[in-house]
Structure 1
Amino acid sequence: MAINGLKARLAQGGSAVVVTLQLARTGDVARIMAQAGYDALVLDREHNLIGGDAASEIMLAALESGIAPLMRLPDAQPGPIGQALSAGALGVMIPRIEDAAQAGEVARAARFAPEGRRPLPPMFPHFRRRPISQGDAVAALAAETLVVVIIETRLAVENAAAIAAVPGIDVLFLGASDLSADLGRPGMKEDPVLWEAAARVATACRDAGKVPGIGGITEEAHFARAKELGFRWISAGHDAALLQAAAAAKVKAIRA
């Protein structure tokens, strides 16, 4: 039973344009972002305190609207990973992954047995309350769930090839802001050292058949450069920045 199909599209060489949610607290944001053409939305619970009820409403609205909901968690603890996936997420994003062992623990927490230890809840909200057997639900979710690890330190870049080789990992997401800071160049998104690191991550993904992703960039030139390097999971920014930019542009246009 197909739920979204984003993971399959990525496996076939497609791309994903992703939006991160920090301010939103209702399901309408999922409907708006789906209508705008985004492929996935990420509920950021690393940098914000999105409550459980709000997160559940947004994820269910996303599933109904055809946009894949993922949850970004504060760390790699297996309990919250399983909880997010049981609550309706079609994937997780995990920060500060620096080696293959850490990536392997994340993959096991997000995958069903025998590959992993993802829990089996009494009911899966992903199927919009349609009756489905547990076996069919597990098969469908195994095919749809995305595991994204965030590369944001020098050590993680050095270990990118080993991380990309870990079974069960789908996307290596380069966090340009945190990585630039770890490289001693905070906020310097033009710096050649940052883009050398990005190229290394993209190569590691290509060699392992994984998807390279990037976020923390905002300039059109940076998006173009990332696409030239082969990045296919592109974070367009977070809802607060998008709202502020659109609001400022509208006022500027009216006053002109």
Structure 2
Amino acid sequence: MRVGTLDSFAITQAMDCSAQGGIVPEIETAEDARSAVAAARYPPLGRRSIMPCLPQLMFRPAPPVDAMKAVNAAAMVISMIEGPRALDAVEEIAAVDGLDMLLVGANDLSNTLGLPGQLDHPDVKAGFQRVTDACKANNIYFGVGGMGHHPELAKEMIAMGARYATAGADVTFMTKAAIANALKFD
């Protein structure tokens, strides 16, 4: 689940409501990434408090230590990289224990670099490369969002090592299908 902001309560609430992981925006420093991990994970990696029956375990009671281990092992914590400050700290962010993926918000990155919509600009591509290098060095996943209108760039990102690439959003897919269906009656 993508939470709206880097907020410990929002992250923990999403996880408590059955999210298997969290995509967290506004990560600009290693400390931000550590805060996201702490909110999403149980000890020893985090500080999340245990509930008696977790939705991730089908609400079946389990010994707390076993439940925490199982949910920590299955959960993903994903840090969004969306601007120059995050790029400057990307190596330190990628090294945070408990972080599973760095996800470049391609449109946000191009906007914050002063290159709106220019996802294939050399400076934006250099940002993608810097993130993928940091991911490889720390054995975590590289992902990229905003590829819906850029299938060739998505293929390029996958060739660079992206294990996650968004091709659009559910609302966009449903809207396009509804418009296509409505046009049948024109």
Could you tell me the TM-score, scaled by structure 1's length? 0.67
Query: Hey, what does 1:130 align to over in structure 2?
Result: 60
- Equivalent residue runs for 1:1-256 within 5 Å: 71-218=1-148, 219-249=150-180
Q: Distance in 2 between matches of 1:112 and 1:129?
A: 17
Output one character per residue of 1:92-148: Cα deviation in whole Å (capped at 9) or x when no partner: 111111111111111112221232201111220122233433232112101001000
Give 1:249 shift.
4.9
For 1:130 and 1:108, locate their aligned partners in 2 and report how far apart those are by CA, in whole Å.
24
Does the C-alpha gap of structure 1 residues 227 and 138 become closer, same or farther in structure 2, counting only changes over 3 Å? same
Contact 1:88 1:126 in 2 (8 A): yes
Higher relative contact order (CA 8 A, sep 6+): 1
Aligned length: 184
Give the match for residue 7 of structure 1: none
Quick check: 1:189–1:217 contact (8 Å CA) kept in 2?
A: no
Aligned to 2:168, what secondary structure does the other structure show? Answer: strand
Q: 1:229 to 1:251 in 2, by over 3 A?
A: farther
Note the residue ranges of structure 2 that are not aligned, 5 or more in a row.
none
- Where do 5+ consecutive residues of structure 1 fail to align? 1-70
Q: What is the TM-score normalised by the length of structure 2? A: 0.91
Q: Contact conserved, 1:103 with 1:163, CA < 8 A, in 2?
A: yes
Q: Distance in 1 between matches of 2:57 and 2:37?
A: 23
